[in-house]
Amino acid sequence: MLVVVGAMVAVAAGVAVAVAQGSGHTGTVSAVTANTSPGLPAAMAPGRTTTTPPKTKKPPTVDPATQRQVRRMIAANAIFVKGGTRGRLVALTFDDGPSIYTPRLVRELRQLKAPATFFEIGSQIHRYAKLVANMSKLGFPIEDHTWNHPDLTRLSSTQVQGQLLWTKNAIFKATHAYPQFFRPPYGAQSARVRHTAGGLGMVTTVWSIDTRDWSRPGTASVIHAAEQVRAGGIVLMHDGGGNRSETVAAVPIVVRYLRTHGYTLVTIPQLLTKAPPKSSTMWLSAKGGG
């Protein structure tokens, strides 16, 4: 049975407040009215029904093996929760950036020669465009985490498409590479959301381990959670959305622990290509920290 991780949304006087349950962070989503939404292009305002997302350009050449697996996942309308056990691979992922903490994380990862994947917020990319471009050149995949972090299951298909496509284009503008993976805020997704993402060439990707670093539980707690990962696992952490100093402090210890215990760190595209998931796990979803 497909488990969908949602967010409770209370609406009063035109203001929507989304509260994550178990698989994300608790916070307030931008206030919305019938025709506007702060931080969004006007055409994407949640109250509108005539959103026309911008057209994308022809994507650059991508790794054929990765593309084959991406197409397989999209054709099955599947969710990427974890990879297979081949090679004892683990993928570290970071959400909600770019932010002031992203350069510090990248510096730590580079010193450790540790790959990682960043699912970034579209509306924040322009401010950090040079950083994002450099991250991509250094081999850190920049993937889609929507324009301003809404619960996509509460939006129309047109609005979902706008959230993903505006972010996809922002990533391309900064990196000259299109994202192939998309992570729904709070893990909140559905067959409709996955289908929309697939139509834009992206695999809906969640996680098998939630470190809950968004709640600032302490560096030791973040480390302990990450150490529970197993072969093929996807670890969720954050480089934005709040104070991420605990995450920055935890990462070097997590990387060294995983390597000491025989795991090889890879990016999300590498995990899908080198250790594709079994069919039996392609429709599972993250809940309660994996």
Buried b / exposed e over 22-49, threshold 16 CB at 10 Å, is bbbbeeebbebeeeebeebeeebbbebe
Written as one letter, the residue type at 30 is: S
| d(C-alpha 43, C-alpha 15), whole Å | 19
Query: Which one-letter DSSP state was computed for residue 35?
Result: S
CA angle 242, 254, 203 (to 5 degrees): 65
**Site of tokens 């699912």:** 119
How far, in Å, are 3, 46, 158 from residue 13 at the CA level? 31, 15, 23
The reply to whether 95 belongs to the active site is yes
Return d(Cα 76, Cα 97) in angstroms, integer: 29
Residue among 25, 145, 149, 238 flagged as catalytic: 238
Q: Rounded to whole angstroms, how far apart are CA atoms 175 and 165?
A: 15
Q: In the numeric block, which tokens belong to residue 237?
A: 């952490």
Reply yes or no on whether 238 is catalytic.
Answer: yes
Task: Please identify which of the residues 25, 95, 151, 210 carries the catalytic annotation.
Answer: 95
Catalytic site positions: 95, 238
